[in-house]
Amino acid sequence: MPAWAQQPQFPAMPASPAEWRYRPRATPSWWHRHRRALRALAVITLLTLCGLIILGLVQQQTGTLGLLVGLGLAVLPVPLLVAAFRWIDGVEPAPWRNHLFAFAWGAFAATLVALLTNSLAADWLVTAVSDAGANSRADVLGSTVIAPVVEESAKGAAILLLFLLRRRDFHGVISGIAVAGITATGFAFTENVLYLGTAFGEDQLLGPDALHESVTAMTFFIRIVVAPFAHPLFTALTGIAFGIVAALPRLSRTLRILVPVLGLLTASLLHAIWNGSASLPDFTFLFVYVLFMIPVFAALTWLAIWSRRLELRTVRDTLPAYAAAGWFEEPEPWGLASMRARAMARSYVRRTHGPTGARTVAEYQHFATALALLRARAHHGTPPPDFHAREQELLHHLWHRHGVAGPPTASSAVELRRQRQQARPPGPGGPHGWGGPPYAYGPYQHPVGPGR
């Protein structure tokens, strides 16, 4: 018997609609009604202040024209990187506000902390190293020892805040990679503005005769073309560590602290290796890039895609239990476990019900995925303390959207299965049907309406 089935508060068979006893929460007080808006206002004010300060500091170093050139060039990889991390997190995407906060934190708060701390550390190193090569040695120590720790800690603060304050949206490794990658994309954007703007200023001093040795072109090639993924790659290691803690809630308190710290140290080490290779001869940089950075990038890409598929498999294996209880039509779990079928359902409803209907289907898919992951955690013996209340809440949201989202979800699953069967070469037939639930549940009960 599964561990969660031994606990009365986590029944093995989900309640049917006729047995549903969900009760919305009581009307909250004024503070509880407005606290989210007040917190959002405080966060927006803080990040805006950081943004204005960092904008002024960058403008002082690059000049107005250099700032504009840097902005125009640095923004180019941002949409691609953000879209990639949103795609990775697409099975149960975090709210846009979480990722917007992560990007703004990386672009404004983290860069401000890093710029001020690195400047102070560089000044201290110059005074501490009092020989003839003090400046060059201070630069190397600053870029390979201090800067990686400071920058990864500043970026990691956004992951920590979302992990603590938006725990419900932080599901596992996928969530950690997405938050870390978007935070680092924001950080790299502002850093690229500074480097590209400074390089443009150097080109202006050299004059038009030095166009064949353009510092701006070389900086753009290295930072935007060759290694736009560098900062996201480093910070993703911290995100993975937080994701492991989120996915394994039964870890001891010591491990729940040590795992993120280990992730941060690993990210700092990788960052230090990358920065250190830039101060060595050209062939050393190329060696590190080809034989170290690219394999690490490939490994993390594989991990992200594998984790994404694992979430979809969890949806496919878990939701049949709720279909057996009457919450879904029989094909729906398979439609919800396919990103292509999900897109087909949204596209169909967009044509028939407009953008509002498509949004309803997207919400339905989100709540269904959250329900599957919640039930999977309970099955593996790690149910959250509010399992029953959270399950009832998710079923409440699903039921009120089922009329619009359920039929197209089921039909998209049927259509996708038909297309795959037509494309499959002739061979011995497999078992018919969609497959039953993975455990012994009761008979299928057609929903007749919310219980009272």
pLDDT one-digit tens code per residue, 306-329: 999 999 999 999 999 999 888 999
Do 302 and 323 lie in one domain? The reply is no
Do 289 and 393 lie in one domain? The reply is no
Question: Does a structural domain hold residue 230?
Answer: yes
Spans of the chain, pLDDT less than 70: 1-33, 129-136, 209-212, 282, 424-452
255: part of which helix (H) or strand (E)? helix 253-278
* Domain count of the fold of the chain: 2
Question: Does a structural domain hold residue 450?
Answer: no
Do 240 and 333 lie in one domain? The reply is no
pTM greater than 0.75 (yes/no): yes
Within 10 angstroms of residue 66's Cβ, the number of other Cβ atoms is: 24
What's the pLDDT tens digit per position in 227-272? 999 999 999 999 999 999 998 888 889 999 999 999 999 999 999 9
Do 215 and 297 lie in one domain? The reply is yes
What's the pLDDT tens digit per position in 84-133? 999 999 898 889 999 999 999 999 999 999 999 988 887 787 777 666 55
Do 185 and 87 lie in one domain? The reply is yes
Question: Does a structural domain hold residue 269?
Answer: yes
Distances from the Cα of 305 to the Cαs of 99, 168, 342, 420, in angstroms?
19, 22, 18, 22
Question: Does a structural domain hold residue 27?
Answer: no
What DSSP assignment string belongs to 1-12? --TGGGSTTS-S
Range of the domain at 365: 319-423
Q: What is the pLDDT of residue 305?
A: 94
Do 409 and 378 lie in one domain? The reply is yes
Do 300 and 414 lie in one domain? The reply is no
Q: Which residues contact 173 (CB under 8 A, 6 or more apart)?
A: 239, 240, 243, 244, 247, 303, 304, 307
Q: Is 227 exposed, middle or buried (0-12, 13-18, 19+ CB in 10 A)?
A: middle
Residues 65, 200 contacting (CB under 8 angstroms): yes
Q: What is the pLDDT of residue 18?
A: 59
Per DSSP, the three-state class of 400 is helix
Q: What is the pLDDT of residue 328?
A: 92
Do 267 and 327 lie in one domain? The reply is no
| Token code pair at residue 445 | 């009960």
Q: What is the pLDDT of residue 298?
A: 95
Q: What is the pLDDT of residue 448?
A: 40
Last residue of a domain, one of 308, 333, 350: 308
Q: What is the pLDDT of residue 140?
A: 77
Q: What is the pLDDT of residue 340?
A: 93
**Cα–Cα distance between 28 and 34 in angstroms, integer?**
10
Do 323 and 291 lie in one domain? The reply is no
